[in-house]
Structure 1
Amino acid sequence: MSEVFNQANMLFLLKGIKLTLTIAFISIALSMIFGTVLAILRNFSKGIFGKIATVYIEVFRNTPLLLWILSIRFLVPIPPMYSGILSFTLFTSAVMAEILRGGMNSVNKGQYEAAYSQGFSKIQTLRYIVLPQSFRRCVPTFLSQAVTVIKDTSFLWAVGIEEFTGKGMILMGSFVSSYQVFILFGFLAATYFIINFVISCSVRTIKTSY
């Protein structure tokens, strides 16, 4: 145990946790912004931009995340961390867009008509009436997607990005017994569980408060 959890190893793993959470939270924040734009375009634009948004969402929702991680890591000349953020942002934006679109579609059509009758423009109706309600209704689903993003950052190890799982794999190479490897992997799993369990509890709390 002491050989696995010595100070040097723990500091090494903590750097991995920091990178994992950094990539996950930046990706989620950017995906919320880009996903909102995509959802609005797909729902309300009947022209070329609406069609582009639809194609984008369908392409990313129906292709593997790992494919985009590999493509961006090896084809786009940017630092490793940024390639991870970019791949997750592009992929997760499509998911966030569909979540938010469902929230917007749940708003009663009568509220649109009432807003227009009061002189609100489409943009004002979205900003002050539709989007606030939609975001509130989608918060539990957004948080559930955040859990998925945090877990899926482990895919980045496949392209040499040293996030939490990647750091663990590097340490594994220095161990001489299967017992040490088992302990290490147990620690990785427990850490992911604790982080995501806290978020999942928040989701359940929010759902029961609605």
Structure 2
Amino acid sequence: MDFIGAYSPDHLKFLLQGFGVTLLVASLSIVLSFIIGGAIGTARYARIPVVSQVLAVGVETIRNLPLLLIIFFTFFALPDIGLKLPVTTAAIVALTIFESAMLSEIIRSGLNSVEKGQIEAARSSGLGYVQTIRYIVMPQALRRMVPPIVSQFISLLKDTSLAVVISLPELTHNAQIIYGQKDSYVIPMILILTLMYFTVNYMLSIIAGRLEVKKA
């Protein structure tokens, strides 16, 4: 094991560049999937005729597909229909599609967890349907949804490593390039990858835990 060679300044800089790509892809995917998943989850909760059923089929289909297949589709299949995406964009699109489906179920379940009696009381007091959702249902549901949503974001951050199959220059990809130079770099690279992923995900886990305590 060559820790000194593996952790040379150039190698560490290369790893940090990959980590930056990982955080960028994860951050953009989180924002986009939260917006799209929120819209889908709310639409399904509202049970809009036809739209709700179509969305349900789409969500269940995506949730039961491996993320790796979706990544392959966005990068290798879309060019066949005239839509060629840069590798970073393809990774973001794939992660957003998959995470939107997962988050939509979390959000729909959170909305459904609010007691029907509160909704009926709000409607009987004169609030409209949209007002009831906005002022009564959504605030309570959000508090309940935060911990599972944060947990899903943790999974998303780890899932960015799957984009190594399309040569996204993220953390795992760059580490592979480094330990491909010498066999003695393998264990040092695995250790530093473990530390970097663990640090970020553990911080997110702490946030989720504290939010869970506040919610209780």
Q: Distance in 1 between matches of 2:134 and 2:38?
A: 11
Counterpart of 1:209?
214
Counterpart of 2:166?
159
Q: How does 1:73-152 map to 2 (within 5 A)?
A: 73-76=75-78, 77-152=84-159
Q: Distance in 1 between matches of 2:166 and 2:49?
A: 38
Q: Distance in 2 between matches of 1:123 and 1:75?
A: 40
Q: 1:22 aligns with which of 24, 33, 36?
A: 24
Counterpart of 1:196?
201
* Structure 2: stretches of 5+ with no match in the other structure: 79-83
Partner SS, residue 65 of structure 2: coil
* Structure 1: stretches of 5+ with no match in the other structure: none
Q: Which letter maps to 1:67?
A: L
Q: Distance in 1 between matches of 2:35 and 2:48?
A: 21
Q: Distance in 2 between matches of 1:181 and 1:67?
A: 27
Cα drift, residue 70 of structure 1: 0.6
Partner SS, residue 92 of structure 1: helix
Cα deviation code 1:83-124 (max 9, x no counterpart): 111101110011101111111111011221122223322222
Q: Does 1:181 align with 2:186?
A: yes
TM-score (norm 1): 0.94
Identity %: 35
Cα deviation code 1:177-199 (max 9, x no counterpart): x3321111111111111111111
Q: 1:56 aligns with which of 55, 58, 70?
A: 58
Q: Distance in 2 between matches of 1:96 and 1:45?
A: 17
Cα deviation code 1:9-31 (max 9, x no counterpart): 11111111111111111111111
Q: Distance in 1 between matches of 2:42 and 2:204?
A: 27
Q: Distance in 2 between matches of 1:91 and 1:132?
A: 25
TM-score (norm 2): 0.92
